[in-house]
Amino acid sequence: MWMNKLLAVAIVGALSGCGSSSSSSEDTTQQSPTPSVTTTQNVEIKFAARVGNEDISCDPMLSLVGLSNLNPEFKDARIYISEVALVNDADELVSVMLDQDKKWQYKNVALLDFETGTGSCSNGNTALNHVIKGTVPSGNYDGIQFTLGVPTELNNYGIDGDDAVSPLDVMGMNWSWQMGHKHLRMDIKGLMIHLGTTGCEVVDADTETVDCSSSRPNRPKYQFDSFNPASNSIVFDYQKLVAGNDIDDMAPSMCMSSSSDSVCQHIFGRLGLDLTSGQCIDGDCSAVQTWIAVE
């Protein structure tokens, strides 16, 4: 009898031990790592276009420009910006994911518009846009990089037909689908500046296929290492862009991005571009350009 009781106690103890082990194993199996969640923050990058200290206007302006000191009468002032990235506190470039608003922004390109289509601005429209909106991973940012112009993969897209998409189909900012988009258009009475990629070759007109491998991109990239999107703006100064040009409204001139265009020589230098190659001078437009500042 005593032996039977002892055996029963031993069996119960063994079963209890097995149950404890099974429970512990089950708890371990059910535990899973906490998923990594990347949070984002909204960002607005502000831009301004001026002639000296005066904001570009479609009314007669007082600021002097060029060697001949004309009072500019603007006809157009629009710029495409693409490939926007912020620099975080680890000195890493972080791409800004642009809001797809179907008007000013498409994929990684945005159109800035500083003219109202009224007064002297006969080429434009009434809508204005001085800001680029998007999101970045949450963090601290103290620098910015961007390209002035439509990126290569979109330069001959969105202009017309079935693939027309805003803001790439904006009239006045395209040469034709063969030549692509005007990266920058700044026209005043006496001087027209149209910056765009040149030298693309038509491969197939029916499919609107072009080869730009041997082109002059004329697409400057800029980086500013001290920029806070919450408090700073990027400022384009037309006065500095045309400081070396003789502007005469009685004898209008044009810079159409040709490598042999003497009117473009000073302008390209201030953009930071080599006129012959269409590339950044010494590979760094930021170090050479003189017309953009952070305020």
Tell me: the pLDDT tens digits for 201-251? 999 988 889 999 999 999 999 999 999 999 999 999 999 999 999 998 888
Give the model's pLDDT for residue 8: 46
Give the model's pLDDT for residue 183: 98
Give the model's pLDDT for residue 32: 63
Give the model's pLDDT for residue 2: 41
Give the model's pLDDT for residue 177: 85
pLDDT in tens, 3-52: 444 444 444 444 444 444 444 444 555 566 666 678 999 999 999 999 99
Give the model's pLDDT for residue 178: 87
Gap between the Cα atoms of 168 and 154, Å rounded = 8
Residue type, 132: I
Gap between the Cα atoms of 295 and 292, Å rounded = 10
- DSSP assignment, residue 280? B
Give the model's pLDDT for residue 190: 93
Burial class (CB in 10 A: 0-12, 13-18, 19+), 219: buried
The 3-state DSSP class for residue 98 equals: strand
Residue type, 295: E
pLDDT in tens, 36-94: 678 999 999 999 999 999 999 999 899 989 988 778 999 999 999 999 999 999 999 99
Give the model's pLDDT for residue 10: 46
Give the model's pLDDT for residue 60: 87
The 3-state DSSP class for residue 229 equals: coil
Gap between the Cα atoms of 236 and 49, Å rounded = 5
Entry pTM: 0.87
Radius of gyration over alpha carbons of the chain, in Å? 29
Give the model's pLDDT for residue 70: 78
Least Cα distance to 140 among 98, 91, 95 occurs for 91
Least Cα distance to 120 among 167, 51, 170, 174 occurs for 51
Least Cα distance to 284 among 295, 267, 271, 294 occurs for 271
Indicate whether 166 pLDDT > 80. yes
Residue 26 host element (H or E): helix 2-30
Give the model's pLDDT for residue 257: 97
What percent of the chain lies above the pLDDT cut of 90?
Answer: 77
Q: Which residue has the tokens 């003497």?
A: 262
